[in-house]
Amino acid sequence: MGLRFALFLLLLISYLPMTVLYVLFYPFYLFTTFIIKYRKSVTLENLKLSFPEKSQKEIQALYKLYQKHLSDLGAEMVKMLSVSKKNIAKRYTCVNPEVVNQFYRQGKSVILMSSHYNNWEWMVLRLNDMFLHHGIGVGKANTSKVFEQWINKRRTRFGTEVVFADAVRDSFEQNSQQNKLCAYMMLSDQSPNDLKKSYMTTFLNQESCMIYGTEYFAKKYDLPVVYYEVIKLKPGFYKIELQLIAENPKETASGEIIEKYVQLLEKTIKKAPQYWLWSHRRWKNRISPSNFEGVSREARRGSLYKN
């Protein structure tokens, strides 16, 4: 009952103008940055290891910028709950949708690879209207079923479908059999749950395990892979720029798609580091011999990814 009431209040607050929401969330920036110091040690460690060339002063400045970004992002997440289709279309635009739409005309589904950079939640709202394909956002289930049901109702009200990771195999297979043309939004920057189902590479100056599933599905169904970069124009306004990673995935070498994705993501992050999700424990499984005994540096397929 308490959670439902809190969610109801959030929905009411979301009808406030965007500028008012930013003001309301500013105290959260002060509270999380200077009082409880939300995940400060994790954020600073990630920043230091990713940018060893930066001074302590520069790292601290980045930390504060990142914390302010989280505050603004919180306001935008709340706005997502009630923003109109017309309003979100003005705030979240794509400059070159033809990169994706060309494949719809060719009768092909596509995979969109990106990360937790800038505002990724608004992409879920816009996905189904941004391209000709049916939009599908792939995500993780929430531990609270009440919250999960409520938030997904708000996320999908403009037509985008949300599929959880444990059902993504069935989604790909079913849509393929039905010849349903879909654009799958897959954020591939988080730490994989199982290291032996991951791909090892260097990412942001660190040996890193990358989620392999995106490349696996691209190759299995021969779906073009497109990287999308979310660029912040000003508070509450973003543009999406698309770049083709692989048109014919089956013709690519093992790990080639992931390597291209990592290169593009690094380039994006380095342009404006404060907008990536630094407080996430991205490198919680640091590389060590014990972590990877018997695991090569090539793409690894575990039981989940066997045909």
**pLDDT one-digit tens code per residue, 146-161:** 999 999 999 999 999 9
pLDDT band at 79 (very low <50, low <70, confident <90, very high): very high
- Please tell me the predicted confidence (pLDDT) of residue 304: 35
Does 236 have pLDDT greater than 50? yes
Nearest to 154 by CA among 14, 44, 301, 282: 14
All structural domains of the chain with their residue ranges: 2-282
Does 302 have pLDDT greater than 60? no
Helix pair angle (121-130, 145-155), 10° resolution: 40
Does 187 have pLDDT greater than 60? yes
- Please tell me the predicted confidence (pLDDT) of residue 197: 80
List all residues 6 or more positions away from 206 whose beta carbon is below 8 Å from its beta carbon.
Answer: 49, 50, 283, 287
Q: Is 232 helix (H, G, I), strand (E, B) or coil?
A: strand
Q: What is the mean pLDDT of residues 193-200?
A: 84
pLDDT band at 1 (very low <50, low <70, confident <90, very high): low
**Contact criterion met (CB below 8 Å) for 257 and 188:** no
Does 300 have pLDDT greater than 90? no
- Please tell me the predicted confidence (pLDDT) of residue 274: 98
- Please tell me the predicted confidence (pLDDT) of residue 290: 52
**pLDDT of 119-175, one tens digit each?**
999 999 999 999 999 999 999 899 899 999 999 999 999 999 999 989 999 999 999
- Give, for 112, the enclosing helix (H) or strand (E): strand 110-114
